[in-house]
Amino acid sequence: MLSLTQDPLNEVIFNGKSYHLDLAFDTVLQYLQLSSDDDLSKEEKVEYAITLFLDEQDLPNDPEFYELIFKAVNEEITADPYGNNMPNSNPFGLAPIKYFDYVQDAEAIFASFMREYKINLLKQRGKMHWREFKALFDGLSENSYMQRIISIRQRDLSEVDDSKMRQQLTEAKSYYALDEPQKEEDKQEHVAQTSALSAMFKAMQGQVKKGG
């Protein structure tokens, strides 16, 4: 998670040598897309993830190195300062899948950062660290475009008594609906992307242990 006294993670030390980690927000977003791509095999995802985070560095041929990398990146991406002591809590780290999608909501996120922070995210690619992006994203006000969309998706129609307002909310939910509707059991359990991400890294760790 973001610290005000230490730099965010940008390198790992293995056998006395430093290796740069690219954890710019756009790199992490590319990884999130990669991890949910069902057309790629586990081995391909491992290879692409290594390329994303480590680029073209001279890397050691040691499974322990990649275990260290995946563990460090996983912790950096999914760490959240709140809710860790609540049983069955749904951390805000990457928000429930049903509430937003970094790809589909890219324009709303861009507009929200421009309006609230005067930050052009297109110009921050390769620069802004994931933890900075996440802190700013989580801090968007309820009046921001992105948070208004999330509020529409979260709001329960049964709580709206007025028929006209219910119809308006229904239309808004339809308009802002995510492309891939979640299964009902997923909605009830509030499955978070953090869980999927952690599972993905564990799978990667298992793969490198096998030398795959």
Instruction: State the DSSP code for 15.
Output: T
Q: Report how far apart the first and last C-alpha atoms of the chain are (Å, whole number).
A: 30
Q: What's the confidence (pLDDT) of residue 184?
A: 42
* Mean per-residue pLDDT over the chain, rounded: 81
Does 16 score more than 90 pLDDT?
A: yes
Average confidence (pLDDT) over 48-75 = 90
User: pLDDT grade, residue 89 (50/70/90)?
Assistant: very low
pTM score, whole prediction: 0.77
Cβ atoms of 68 and 17 closer than 8 Å: no
Q: What's the confidence (pLDDT) of residue 65?
A: 92
Determine what percent of the chain is predicted with pLDDT higher than 70: 77
- Report how far apart, in Å, the C-alpha atoms of 110 and of each of 38, 124, 143, 153 are: 27, 11, 14, 19
- Report how far apart, in Å, the C-alpha atoms of 68 and of each of 14, 63, 65, 74, 103 are: 8, 9, 5, 10, 28
Average confidence (pLDDT) over 136-142 = 95
Q: What's the confidence (pLDDT) of residue 127?
A: 96
Domain positions in the chain are 11-82+193-209, 106-189
Chain segment 167-178, per-residue pLDDT in tens? 999 999 999 998
